[in-house]
Structure 1
Amino acid sequence: MCPAPLSEPSSTLGPQATADLLDWTALADEIAALLVDDGIQVPPRSVLALAGGASLFVMPASDRTVAMAKLITLTPGNAARGQPTIQGDVVVFDVATGQRRVVLDGPTVTARRTAAVSLLAAQRLAPVPQGPLLVVGAGVQGLAHVQAFVEVLGVREVWVASRSAASAEALAQAARALGAQARVVQDADAAMAHCPLVAACTPGTAVVLSAQPRPDAFIAAVGAYTPTMAELSPGLCQWMAQHGTVVVDTADAGHEAGDLLQAGLDVARLPTLQDMVRQGARPRTGPVLFKSCGGAGWDLAAARLVLRATRTAHSDIGANTGSGAHSQPGSGSP
């Protein structure tokens, strides 16, 4: 389904309309392009603690033409209430005019750009990118990683491990709907012996992987993003540092990557994804651990991709109608 063109001067898009504009391959390519762009500005994100264990995240970023700010809340207690844990928006501006151009659904951007970063890392670093894939954690990020890896890397076998049997089976069914074989497993550590691709997508509140991985493994760990969070054991992280390659998504991981910090690793000395992309480097031998903590730069890549797509849509409308008419503002629902 083709996404509806945005209206001028700005539009607000819902979850599906936002997702429609963030194709997996295009988003991974846009992230790669952003990593070689010297005009990017990404200040540290601001996190405000809220009552009840929730947090408010303020994450700005810009390049020479596009500025954006992601404003989202993270409310872990919502999981027990059957409500989304992440809520909010990504507001995108034109740098030249200061005009707000589009408001994107924050949780959708977060899910897709996080999985797209893992996808880019797997494309560049994974010894066996076609899998089989083990996904630990069957929530929003688990689904996004299955979609990205199946649709782009051609993964045809997915193993799912989750504390919730119902969630695990739902994710396995989603993988089957995409054309992959899928199974639910109880022991994630045991499953690592069979899966060269691993995506750890848990809330980061407890260690879920501790076994020694395969020598051709690629592990993307995305759940932990503070020094007190971890989903990989210290022993696993130390083994990867000694026998393989550890890459972080950004330099901010130096104070955010709880898995690695709790393992006593000098995170500031580890290569970043930007280093690997700019150098065109691949790990020499052995397994790869890609630790992702997230950052506004990835949201900026999503914003750039959306604006490019919508500008093209507006140009096509003008060419077809012979006028500058645009559709009326709407929710962005298909």
Structure 2
Amino acid sequence: MADPPVIIWEQEVGRLLSYMDLIPYLEDALGKFSRRDSTEVIQPVRTVVPLQKHGGFMGLMPTYMENDGVLCTKFACFYKREKGSTLPAVQATVVLLDPEYGNIKAVIDGEVITNMRTAAVSAISAKLLMPPEAEVLTILGTGKQALSHYKVFTEIFSFKEVRVWSRTKKGVERFVCSVGGPVKGCSSAEEAVRGADVIVTVTGSTEPVLFGQWVKAGAHVAAVGACRPDWRELDDVLMKAAVVYVDSREGALSESGDVLLSGAEVFAELGDVINGTKSAQREKTTVFKSLGMGVEDAVSAKLVFDQWKLKATKLLWLTMTPRISQRRWIGV
């Protein structure tokens, strides 16, 4: 008989998951995905259900990794909120299943997983594509994804300067106060971008906020927002001048407005670079268009669940140890 499913809430996910543990798993998963071996990863393009009444949509992201024994799906709801709305823009839940029996092993809060795996993949793109000796990081956006990107980029890289911009002064001030590290708030996107070596766009914008004429030659851009075919963060000048990398070519050609509306050519998937089948053109301006993939959620959820089991085993052992010691003392 299968064990009942466990529920792992947001705070616990945050305690169980670290970037240093997560990044190697994601690199391995991206490489497996880009090899297109059906026994490695089966991941259809995200299924999208419009939620027109509420100004959003639900994405269903199933993944099966046969060799790793991972069966998983994520339910993610995205909304275009009005300015000043207190409602969340993104909600997500990850369900981990047993591939042999088909039962649910764990229901895991998906917000931390989504934020951390997205930021970690952006950091992987920077590791592979940013110019050598990059000194200036710019983040456009001040939401939860901006915070997760700040954390991982400052954890694994050494930038001399970090800049941030948001559409509102209040957003910039809140971000600067919350990160607990050195960061310069900028009054305009152009001010934040000029001279930056690495630029991360994590906005809710549906129209370009980053323009090619501002971008330093040889800079690397990790574009995370604009996950629908009619949404944009980057203008045509930047998209056509840059060497464009994606997480999934099929996904980008279905969902990315930055790719579809600009007519830019996709040079490679990030996994192709990891596998050595495509080059990392660091000497040129590069764009990594991130849409997020089920395989990223799958390996993240498995890592969380494995860490949860390890913690539960340790706690069980600690609770049993006094009893074992007592039995030995009385000769039982």
TM-score relative to the length of structure 1? 0.85
| Partner secondary structure for residue 92 of structure 1 | strand
User: For the structure 1 residues 26 and 130, does the alpha-carbon distance in structure 2 shift closer, same or farther, using more than 3 Å as the test?
Assistant: farther
Please name the residue that 2:189 is paired with: 188
5 Å-filtered alignment, 1:87-166, equals: 87-128=91-132, 131-166=135-170
Alpha-carbon distance between aligned partners in 1 of 2:288 and 2:252, rounded to the nearest angstrom: 11
Residues 55 and 79, structure 2, Cα contact 8 Å, conserved in 1: yes
Which of 266, 270, 274 in structure 1 is aligned with 2:271?
274
Question: What amino acid is aligned across from residue 36 of structure 1 in structure 2?
Answer: G
| Partner secondary structure for residue 268 of structure 2 | coil
CA RMSD, aligned part only?
2.2
Residues 78 and 85, structure 1, Cα contact 8 Å, conserved in 2: no
Residues 158 and 172, structure 1, Cα contact 8 Å, conserved in 2: no
Residues 128 and 217, structure 1, Cα contact 8 Å, conserved in 2: no
Please name the residue that 1:18 is paired with: 13
- Once the two structures are TM-superposed, the CA of residue 317 in structure 1 deviates from its matched residue by 4.8
- Once the two structures are TM-superposed, the CA of residue 191 in structure 1 deviates from its matched residue by 2.8
Question: What amino acid is aligned across from residue 296 of structure 1 in structure 2?
Answer: G
Please name the residue that 2:26 is paired with: 31
User: For the structure 1 residues 156 and 102, does the alpha-carbon distance in structure 2 shift closer, same or farther, using more than 3 Å as the test?
Assistant: farther
Alpha-carbon distance between aligned partners in 2 of 1:191 and 1:165, rounded to the nearest angstrom: 13
- Once the two structures are TM-superposed, the CA of residue 129 in structure 1 deviates from its matched residue by 6.6
Alpha-carbon distance between aligned partners in 1 of 2:282 and 2:58, rounded to the nearest angstrom: 40
- Once the two structures are TM-superposed, the CA of residue 167 in structure 1 deviates from its matched residue by 1.0
| Partner secondary structure for residue 236 of structure 1 | helix
User: For the structure 1 residues 171 and 128, does the alpha-carbon distance in structure 2 shift closer, same or farther, using more than 3 Å as the test?
Assistant: farther
Q: Tell me, yes or no, if structure 1 residue 198 matches structure 2 residue 199.
A: yes
Q: List alignment gaps of at least 5 residues for structure 1.
A: 1-7, 324-334
Q: Deviations over 1:32-85 (max 9, x none)?
A: 111233411111211111123221111111212121111122222376431211
Residues 204 and 223, structure 1, Cα contact 8 Å, conserved in 2: yes
User: For the structure 1 residues 282 and 266, does the alpha-carbon distance in structure 2 shift closer, same or farther, using more than 3 Å as the test?
Assistant: closer
Alpha-carbon distance between aligned partners in 2 of 1:174 and 1:128, rounded to the nearest angstrom: 29
Residues 89 and 104, structure 1, Cα contact 8 Å, conserved in 2: yes
Residues 130 and 282, structure 2, Cα contact 8 Å, conserved in 1: no
| Partner secondary structure for residue 109 of structure 1 | helix
Q: Deviations over 1:303-326 (max 9, x none)?
A: 122133234334545665669xxx
Alpha-carbon distance between aligned partners in 1 of 2:129 and 2:157, rounded to the nearest angstrom: 13
| Partner secondary structure for residue 172 of structure 1 | helix
Q: List alignment gaps of at least 5 residues for structure 2.
A: 322-332
Alpha-carbon distance between aligned partners in 1 of 2:320 and 2:103, rounded to the nearest angstrom: 25
Q: Deviations over 1:101-154 (max 9, x none)?
A: 221112222211111110111112211475421110111111111111112223
Alpha-carbon distance between aligned partners in 2 of 1:54 and 1:157, rounded to the nearest angstrom: 36
- Once the two structures are TM-superposed, the CA of residue 96 in structure 1 deviates from its matched residue by 2.8
Please name the residue that 1:209 is paired with: 210
Question: What amino acid is aligned across from residue 151 of structure 1 in structure 2?
Answer: E
TM-score relative to the length of structure 2? 0.85
Residues 217 and 288, structure 1, Cα contact 8 Å, conserved in 2: yes
Which of 154, 169, 173 in structure 1 is aligned with 2:173?
169
Question: What amino acid is aligned across from residue 155 of structure 2 in structure 1?
Answer: E
Q: Tell me, yes or no, if structure 1 residue 249 matches structure 2 residue 238.
A: no
Please name the residue that 1:328 is paired with: none
Alpha-carbon distance between aligned partners in 2 of 1:130 and 1:13, rounded to the nearest angstrom: 38
Residues 193 and 214, structure 1, Cα contact 8 Å, conserved in 2: yes
Question: What amino acid is aligned across from residue 275 of structure 1 in structure 2?
Answer: D
Residues 41 and 64, structure 2, Cα contact 8 Å, conserved in 1: yes
Alpha-carbon distance between aligned partners in 2 of 1:193 and 1:75, rounded to the nearest angstrom: 31
Q: What is the count of residue pairs matched by the alignment?
A: 307
Question: What amino acid is aligned across from residue 233 of structure 1 in structure 2?
Answer: D
Which has the higher mean CA deviation after the structures are superposed, 36-45 or 221-230? 36-45
Please name the residue that 1:329 is paired with: none
Residues 173 and 182, structure 1, Cα contact 8 Å, conserved in 2: no
